[in-house]
Structure 1
Amino acid sequence: MANSSGAEARRLHDADIEATAWRRWGPYLSDRQWGGVREDYSPGGDAWSYLTHDHARSRAYRWGEDGIAGFSDDKQQVCLALAMWNGNDPILKERYFGLTNSEGNHGEDVKEYWFHVDGTPTHSYMKMVYKYPQREFPYNDLVATNAGRDRRSFEYELLDTGIFGEDRYFDIAIEYAKDGPEDILARITVANRGPDPAMLRLLPTVWFRNTWSWDEGAPRPILREQDGAVKLEHPELGERWWTVIGDHPLIFTENETNNERLFGGTNRTPYVKDAFDRYVVQGEKEAVNPEKSGTKAAADIALEVPAGGETIIRVMISEEPRRPGEEAFDAIFEARRSEADQFYADILHPDLREAERKITRQAVAGLLWSKQYYEYDVERWLAEHGQDTLGGSGIRNGEWYHLSASDVFSMPDTWEYPWFAAWDLGFQAVALATVDLGFAKNQIDLLLSRRYQHPNGQIPAYEWNFGDVNPPVHAWATYLIYELDKARNGRADHAWLERTFHKLAKNFMWWVNRKDVDGRNIFQGGFLGLDNIGVFDRSAPLPTGGHLDQADGTAWMALYAQTMLSIALELSATDPVYLEQAQTYFEHFAWISVAVNHAAAGEGMWDEEDGFFYDLLRMPDGSTRRLKVRSMVGLLPLAAATVYQPRLIENRPELVKGVLEFAERHPIVREMIEPGLAPGPHGERLLALFEKTRLRRILARLLDENEFLGPYGIRSVSKHHAEHPFEFPVGDRTYGVTYQPAESDSGMFGGNSNWRGPVWFPVNALMIRALLNLYVGYGDEFTVECPTGSGHQMTLFEVAREISDRLTRTFVPDENGNRPCHGGQAIFASEHWKDHILFAEYFHGDNGAGLGAAHQTGWTGLVAVFPNLFAGLTGRELLDNGMAGVLRREPEGRTS
C-alpha cells in the first residue's frame, strides 16, 4: 500500500512524531468480558462458568468492561456503549450473547450478527452495524438446541431460529467521529427493516470502569447531571462532558455488583450495575438514583420507528460542554467520512476491482474495531487467589507472575478471543502495518517488553496458558514491518530493529535450549497453535511414551534462523559486530537443514517415497516412525524459504568467507545448503530446507486439487485422507486423522478449532511468501503444473497469485450476491445484508463457508494485503526490484 498525504495520514504522523493523542480514544471496549480467565476466581479454574452471561449484567468486572459498539480511552477509564430493548426480550440488550465452551456442540460461539463496516487507524471515523431482532431473543432455544447436537452436526445459529423472518429487525448503525483528539461524536441510526412500525428503547450509556472496589480508600469518580448533560469527574482523566443532543431523560446508577441478586448478600447502595435492566424491562422506577448521580449513566430514549423508516440519535463526549446543532454535528461526520475515503483511495492500488476494494476496506475495519484495552496484573491476580508464593503454584499462569498488562492490543476478535494470542498478533501486526506502522511496531514492542516476555526468553502465548507455545513468527513480522516502514518513509528505523533483535535473540535461545529435546537441531513445541491437526494431543504426554520430532516446530525454527540472519545482515550495514551473529544464525539454519533431511535409518522428516515431510515419533526404546499425515505440519517446511538480496551479501566479505569455510569443514552441510551458496538470476542467495527436485514433489501435492489446493485456498489437511484416513493403534485404542473440511469431530483443545481440513489465512500467507521468495530465487525458468494434472504450467509467481486469488474469492459475491464465506445463507445476499462481510476464523475446505469465530478478522485480515500486493504486479517487476522494490511501489506500479 502506498503513501497517503491526506488528513488521516497527517493525524497518524502527528500521533507518531508529535505524540498528539489521536489514538487515546478508540473502540477499546471488549465485546465480551464475562467467562474469561482474568475474571475467574473459581477454585478449579472453570472460567466459563464462574462469571456467566446471566451474571454479567449484575456483577462489576475486575479487569475490564464490555459493551455493544463500545468506545473508551486507552486505559478504559471512561466507557461508551449502547444498550437497547425491543419490548419483548427478557433482559436489556447490553452485551452480545453466545455459548460457553460446554454449552455448544462446537463451543465458544457468539449468536449475534454485527458487522464492522469502516474505520481509520486513528479512529477519527468508525462505523459498524448491529442487527437487533424485534421478536424476543431466543436465549434458551439457542442453548438447548445446541446442547442436543453432537460434534458432527452444524451449530444452531441465530438465523436458524427464524427470528429475522419478514425482516422484523432493526439495523442499528453506530458511527464515531473525532472533532479533535478528545472530542468524540457518536451517531446512532436506527432503521426498521420490518413491515410494521416497531418500538425500541435506546440507551446510549456512559460509565466508569470499576477501579475503586478492589482497594480500600481508592478514589471514586462521579457522574452527575448538569444543565441537561452529564458531567464526568475522574481523578486521572479529569473533567469531561457527555451530551445527548435533544431532550431525553437521563438515568443514573453505580457500576457495582448486585450482591443481593447474585449471592443473597448486602449491597453498599441500592443503585447497582443491573439497575437499567430492572428500570426498563421490569419497570422498577426505584432502581435508578433520583439524585441523578453515580458511576453509570444513560439517556432513556423511547422510539417508535415506522416501517422502512429510520431515526437518528446524536451523542458526544467532550472536554468542554458543547451542544452543536444537528447540521453542524452531521457536518463533522461527513468531513471524517470523506477523509476516510481519501485515505483508502491513496493507499489502495487503482487496479483493484471494486469488489476487492470493498473487501479490503472492511477487513481493515475489522482489524481496527478489534483493538481492545487489556489489563492483567498476574502477580496481583494470583494474590487474590490466595497464592502467596511466587511461581510453581499449580494455579493457572503461576509462573508468569511478572506479567503486568495495561495496554491496547490487536485481538483475534473481542468476543470469542478477547485476549491477545502471540502468533495471531504477529500476523495481525503485519496486516495493520499496511495502514498504521506506528501501532504495528507497538504491538511487537509489547510482546517483547519486560512486562510480557518471560525472564527466560519465552513469549507469552495466551491467557489460558501463557506458558504454552505459539509459533515464533515475531522475527518474520518484525523484519517485514521494518521493510514496509523503510519503503514507505524512505528511512530505516535501525534503532527499533536493533532493540527488537536483542529481545528476539533471547527468545530464539529459549527455543534452542527448551524445545530441542536431544540437542539434534530438531524441535518440538507441542500443539504450536495448530490445535487438533495431529494424531495425538501434541502438548500432552504421548500414549506411546517417547516424544515427537515436529516438522512444523523445526520449520518454524528454520524460518526464525533465516529471519534473524536477515536482521543481523541489515544491522551489520552500520555495525560490523552483527556479522558474527549473522554467521551464528546461518549455522543454526544449516544444522537444522541437515537434521530435517537426514535420511539414515529413517531419521529424517523427509519421506522419499511420498515426497513429503512428516512428524517423527520417537519411541521409548529408541525406534522411530514417521506419522504419515499429509497436513499443514508437513507443508510448513516450505515456509522456510528466504531470499537474500545481493546488497546484503556483496559488502560483507567476512561473512561470505566464514560461510564458505564452515561449509568446507562440514561436507554434509555443504551438500544440504550448496544450492543457496550459488547466486540466483539476479545475484540473490536462496536458503531453503529443500532443493528443486524435492520442491517439485512438495508442490505437486500442494497444487493438487484432490489434496491441498482447494477452490478457496490451501487446505490444512490433504483431501487424500477423506478416503484414506491415517490410523495409528495404541493398545486397544486407534488414533487417527481424516479430512474434515468443516468442523472437527475431535475433542482436542475443547473441540472448538479445526485444522483437519479447512483453510486458514495465516499459513496460506506464509505459503504465498515462500512462493514469491522461491520465484525470486529461481526465476521464470522454473515452472510447475498448476493445478497438478492440468497440463497448465505456471511460474511460482503465478502460483502465488493463484492462491491469493482463491483466498480473496472467499469473499467475492457471485452474480446473485452470494459470497462463499456466508455458507449459502440466502439472507446475506438480500438488500440490507449484501454489503456486509463476516471474516471468520477459518473456512470450509471445499465451499469456503466461514467457520469458527465469526468475527475473527484478526489474522483473516490478511485478506487486506493479498489483492493490493498483486494488483498491477508482474513477475518481471518482482524479479527486477525484489520484494523491497515491490513494497516501494506507487499505485501506478512505479517504484519510488
Structure 2
Amino acid sequence: MSASENAEQRRLRDADTGAVDWRRWGPYLSERQWGTVREDYSEGGDAWNYLTHDQSRSRAYKWGEDGIGGFSDDQQQLCLAVALWNGKDPILKERFFGLTNSEGNHGEDLKEYYFYVDGVPSHAYMRMVYKYPHAAFPYTDLVETNRARGFSEFEYELLDTGIFAEERYFDVEIEYAKDGPEEILTRITVHNRGPEPAELHLLPTVLFRPTGAGEGLRALDGGVVRADHDRLGARWWTCLGDHPLLFTENADGRKDAFGRYLIHGEKEAVNAEQAGTKAAAVVSGTIPAGGTLVVRTILGDRQRTLTEAEFDAIVEARRGEADTFYDGLFAPALGGPERQVTRQALAGMLWSKQYFGYDVERWLREHGKDPLGAPDIRNGDWFHLDAHDIISMPDTWEYPWFAAWDLAFHAVALAVVDLGFAKGQLDLLLSRRYLHPNGQIPAYEWNFSDVNPPVHAWATYLVYELEKARTGKGDHAWLERAFHKLSKNFTWWVNRKDMDGRNVFQGGFLGLDNIGVFDRSAPLPTGGHLDQADGTAWMALYCQNMLQIALELATTDEVYVEQAQTYFEHFAWIAAAVNHAGGGASMWDEEDGFFYDLLRTNGTAMPLRVRSMVGLLPLAAATVYDRDVVDRYPEVLEEMRAFLGRNEEVKAVLATGHRGQRLLSLFDEGRLRRILARMLDENEFLSPYGIRALSRHHAEHPFEFRVQDQVYRVSYQPAESDSGMFGGNSNWRGPIWFPVNALMIRALLNLYVGYGDDFTVECPTGSGQQMTLFEVAREISDRLTRIFLPDAAGHRPCYGGQGTFAGEHWRDLMLFSEYFHGDNGAGIGAAHQTGWTGLVAVFPNLFAGLTGRQLLDHGMTGVFRKFADQGEEQ
C-alpha cells in the first residue's frame, strides 16, 4: 500500500484487519427470491411454479427477501428497498419481473431494465439506475407473446412493447452512502424523461426478514421508525420531509398491504397502530416533464437528523472517494471509454454480492425427508451444507445462487478491487459447511452434485500472487489451508471421474451445457462413455496449479517438495494419455490438427469431430514456473527430466523461457501451431469479438451422428441454440463466453514466456500478419473489450444494433450479459452476468501500457506487480 492511501483503501484495510466491519452492510438484498430451489416445497421439485412472481407479493419467504435496489446487513435481517407505483400499474412495483423457464421461449428471462453504475467494495458508495415506464407495465403482454413464440424466434422484450416510446419513463437513480459503518444514507433521485408531467408514488421501504428474533418496527414522533431486533439491537430509520408512514407485517397474506392500500384503497390493509415488520414512507406527486424528485432516508444505530444540504454533502463526498479509488486502480495508459467499461463491470460485480441462506438439513426435514437418507429429492445427499453467507452471484435475477466455477472467475475479477473478499469467496466453497465430506465442491443450487470445471486452484494461486505483488508478502497460511482442501477435491476427481484409471477424465457437461453431440450428464444413447478432452484438460491445469502452490509452500516447509513432484507426475501421465493413440484412437486427431472427445463403446473408440471449445481447452493447460522457483528446487527439475526420460510417450513439454523459466504444456510446438491456426481463423473460432465456443466451420458442415433412427446434430449458431438439450437457454454452440476466453489469454501469455519473440503465428490465420503470442493475447483482449465500446454514434456491439441504447439517457449504461453473439457481439442470455463477464474489468487494464518485453523480463510475477502498483505510478 502506498503512503497516499485513499479513503476507500483505508476502509478495506480496517475491514480486513477486523478493526471496523465496513462490509457488514451492503447491496445484499436479493433481486429475486421467488422461484428458487430454497423456496421450493413442491412435491415434484417444480421451483419455478411453486412460488411465482404473482404469489411473491403475498406469500412470505422462508430463506431470504427480495426487493428493488436493496441494501441489508450481512445476514439479510434488516433490509432497505424501493417500491414504485406510476398510478397505472395493476400492482405495486416491489420486485423486478421476468418470465419463468416455461414462460420464456428461451427459458427464464428478465423483462426489466436496470443498470449497476457504480460502487466501491466497502459499499460506502453504491449507485444504480432503474427505468420505470409511465404507462402500465405490460405484464400480460410479455407473458402471452413470449409463450406464443417458438424456440427459433426472437424473445419479445420490454422495448419491443413500445412502452419507452418518446422516452415516457422515469430514471430511478438509487444511491447508498455510508457515514460510518452502521449509518446508511439512501438518496433516490427520480428523473421524468418524458415530454409531459407524470404521476409517481415512491415508497422507500424498511423491512425485517422473519427470523423469530424479536424483530419489530414502530413509529416515533417526527416521522422516525424504530427497528428492534434481538441480534441487531436497535436501529432508527428516517425519511427526510413530512411523509405519511405505512406499516404491515412481512408475513403471508399481509406483505402486499401497501399495494392494496395505495392502489385499491383498502385503508384497513395497513396497521393503524403504526407497528409491524415492514414499513414505508409514501412520497407522492406529479413530476414535470424533465423534472426531478429527490427522496432521502437515513438508517443507523442512533437517531440522527440532517438537513438536505448536509445529507447531500455526505453522499457527494462518498462519490468523490469512489472516483479517487478507481483512479488509483486504472493504468495511466487506459483510455476513457475503457475506464468506463471497467468501472461499470466492477460495479456490477459488487452489486451482485447477495445473501444466500440455505440449511439443507432443515430444508429436507421440512420436506418430510430423513436427512441421512434422502436420495429421492434434489440435493438430498448434501444434508451437511449450511449456507448463511454473502456470495458473489452469477446474475442478480436469473442466477441468484452461487455456482462453483463461476465463483472462481468472480474471485479473480473481484481481487482487483477487494482482495479480502475475493479470498473469502474462495475459502467459502472449501469450508466444512460447503465441501462434501467426500471432497466434491458443490456445483450450484439446482444440483449440488453436478460437476463444474475444477478451476478453484487456478483462481486461488492467481489471487495469492496478486496479493503478494500488492503487499510484498504472500498469505502462506491462507494458501496452505486452501491447498489441503483442494488436495481432497483433487483426490475426488481422480477417484470419481477417471472411469478406467487411465488418466483420462469425464465429468459430464462440465458447465458447457449443450456444446456436445449428446447430453454429457445423461446416459449416452449409444451406451459406453465419453473420454472428454475438456475434462482431461481441466485436470491437467489442476495439476499444474497444485504444483505451483506446492512449490510456493515449500519455501517454508520442505514436505511440499514431494507434493510438488506428485502433482507433476499426475500431470505427466495425463499428458501421456491425451496424446496416446492406443485403443484405436487418440484425443489428438493428426489429420485435423485438433483435440476431440472420444466415444468409447463396445471396446471401440471413436472421435466425435466437433470443433469446439472442448478441443481448445487443452491449450489452457500451459503454466510457467519462474526461474527462482526452479533454482530453489533443482531436485524437482531433475525429477521432471528423469520422469520424462523414462517415459517416452509422455508428451508434456518442459520448455525453457527467456530468463530460465520453465513452461509445462500438454503438447509440443508443432501441435501448438496447428491448434492456433484453427483458433485464430476468422472462418472458424476467431470472431471480431473474441473466441467463439464453436467453429463457424460447422455452419456449412454440421456434425451429425446417427444412433439407429435418431440423428444427433451440431451446427454453428452464433446466438441462441436450436437445441434444448440442457435447459431452455443453455447455449455453447457458437457464442463468445468470457471465462474460457480468459483462460485462452492466460495460456497465450504463459506460452509467450516459454517460447519468446521468435515464435510467431499468423493472426488472423491467412492474413499474412505475423504476431507473437503476447500480441495474439492482446488482440483477443481488445476484441473482447470492443463488445462494450461505443462507436462514433454511441452504439455498443453488446446491444446488437438496438438504437434505444444509443440514446442520450441510455448510452452510458452497460449490461454485461452471460454470453455474446459470435458474429456481431450482441449480449445474450442473462443480462447482469457481471460475474464471469466482469473479467472484462481485468483485460484492458492489464494490457494498457504492458509490453511483451516486460513480460519476458519479469515474468507473470512482474506483471502482477505492475498491475498492483498502477495507482502509485500516477
Q: TM-score normalised to the size of structure 2?
A: 0.99
The alignment partner of 2:271 has SS state of coil
Question: How far apart, in 2, do the equivalents of 1:606 and 1:300 lie?
Answer: 67
User: Are 1:233 and 2:210 counterparts?
Assistant: no
| Maintained 8 Å contact 1:889/1:895 | no
Question: How far apart, in 1, do the equivalents of 2:858 and 2:406 lie?
Answer: 30
Q: Which amino acid aligns with 2:787?
A: T
Aligned-pair CA distance for 1:682: 1.4
Match of 2:833 among 843, 853, 856: 856
Unaligned runs of 5+ in 1: 213-217, 259-271
Match of 2:423 among 422, 432, 441: 441
User: Are 1:790 and 2:772 counterparts?
Assistant: no
Question: How far apart, in 1, do the equivalents of 2:52 and 2:634 lie?
Answer: 63
Deviation string for 1:712-738 (max 9, x for gaps)? 000000000000000000011100110
| Maintained 8 Å contact 1:2/1:488 | no
The match for 2:589 is: 607
The match for 1:157 is: 157
Distance 1:3 1:137, change over 3 A: farther
Match of 1:651 among 623, 627, 632: 632
Question: How far apart, in 2, do the equivalents of 1:895 and 1:99 lie?
Answer: 48
Match of 1:728 among 705, 708, 716: 705
The alignment partner of 1:558 has SS state of helix
The match for 1:109 is: 109
Distance 1:518 1:225, change over 3 A: same
User: Are 1:697 and 2:670 counterparts?
Assistant: no
List aligned pairs for 1:800-839, cutoff 5 A: 800-839=777-816
Match of 2:488 among 486, 503, 506: 506
Q: Which amino acid aligns with 2:157?
A: E
Of 26-35 and 884-893, the range deviating more from structure 2 = 884-893
The match for 2:373 is: 391
Match of 2:510 among 528, 531, 534: 528
Aligned-pair CA distance for 1:224: 3.5
The alignment partner of 2:477 has SS state of helix
User: Are 1:382 and 2:364 counterparts?
Assistant: yes
| Maintained 8 Å contact 2:455/2:538 | yes
Q: Which amino acid aligns with 1:126?
A: M
Question: How far apart, in 1, do the equivalents of 2:676 and 2:645 lie?
Answer: 31
Match of 1:590 among 549, 554, 572: 572
| Maintained 8 Å contact 1:2/1:346 | no
Question: How far apart, in 2, do the equivalents of 1:236 and 1:595 lie?
Answer: 56
| Maintained 8 Å contact 1:888/1:895 | no
List aligned pairs for 1:31-180, cutoff 5 A: 31-180=31-180
The match for 2:744 is: 767
| Maintained 8 Å contact 1:423/1:472 | yes
User: Are 1:707 and 2:689 counterparts?
Assistant: no
Q: Which amino acid aligns with 2:74?
A: D
Question: How far apart, in 2, do the equivalents of 1:10 and 1:551 lie?
Answer: 46
The match for 1:634 is: 615
The match for 1:427 is: 409
| Maintained 8 Å contact 1:224/1:232 | no
Distance 1:46 1:524, change over 3 A: same
Question: How far apart, in 1, do the equivalents of 2:70 and 2:584 lie?
Answer: 56
Aligned-pair CA distance for 1:211: 1.3
The match for 2:858 is: 881
The match for 2:347 is: 365
| Maintained 8 Å contact 2:2/2:872 | no
Q: Which amino acid aligns with 1:811?
A: F
Deviation string for 1:723-754 (max 9, x for gaps)? 00000000111001100000011112212121
Deviation string for 1:740-787 (max 9, x for gaps)? 000011112212121000000000000000000000000000000000
User: Are 1:322 and 2:304 counterparts?
Assistant: yes
Q: Which amino acid aligns with 2:216?
A: P
The alignment partner of 1:751 has SS state of coil
Aligned-pair CA distance for 1:281: 1.1
Match of 2:497 among 502, 515, 521: 515
Question: How far apart, in 2, do the equivalents of 1:661 and 1:783 lie?
Answer: 30
User: Are 1:665 and 2:646 counterparts?
Assistant: yes
Question: How far apart, in 1, do the equivalents of 2:565 and 2:576 lie?
Answer: 17
Question: How far apart, in 1, do the equivalents of 2:755 and 2:873 lie?
Answer: 23
Aligned-pair CA distance for 1:222: 3.7
Aligned-pair CA distance for 1:893: 10
The match for 1:263 is: none
| Maintained 8 Å contact 2:216/2:275 | no
* Matched-pair identity in %: 72
Question: How far apart, in 2, do the equivalents of 1:626 and 1:98 lie?
Answer: 41
The match for 2:14 is: 14
The match for 1:269 is: none
Q: Which amino acid aligns with 2:819?
A: Y
The match for 1:477 is: 459
Deviation string for 1:563-595 (max 9, x for gaps)? 000000011011100001000000000000000
Match of 1:346 among 314, 325, 328: 328
Q: Which amino acid aligns with 2:634?
A: P
Deviation string for 1:389-414 (max 9, x for gaps)? 41343100000000000000000011
Distance 1:886 1:225, change over 3 A: same
Number of residue pairs matched by the alignment: 873
Question: How far apart, in 1, do the equivalents of 2:872 and 2:806 lie?
Answer: 38
Q: Which amino acid aligns with 1:323?
A: T
Q: Which amino acid aligns with 2:809?
A: H
Deviation string for 1:395-450 (max 9, x for gaps)? 00000000000000000011000000000000000000000000000000100000
The match for 1:265 is: none
| Maintained 8 Å contact 1:391/1:401 | no
The alignment partner of 1:362 has SS state of helix
The match for 2:533 is: 551
The match for 1:276 is: 258
Aligned-pair CA distance for 1:601: 4.6
Match of 1:573 among 536, 555, 563: 555
| Maintained 8 Å contact 1:3/1:488 | no
The match for 2:726 is: 749
The alignment partner of 1:84 has SS state of strand
Question: How far apart, in 1, do the equivalents of 2:165 and 2:154 lie?
Answer: 21
| Maintained 8 Å contact 2:364/2:371 | no
The alignment partner of 1:656 has SS state of helix
| Maintained 8 Å contact 1:182/1:318 | yes
Aligned-pair CA distance for 1:624: 1.1
CA RMSD of aligned residues (A): 1.4
Question: How far apart, in 2, do the equivalents of 1:812 and 1:849 lie?
Answer: 12
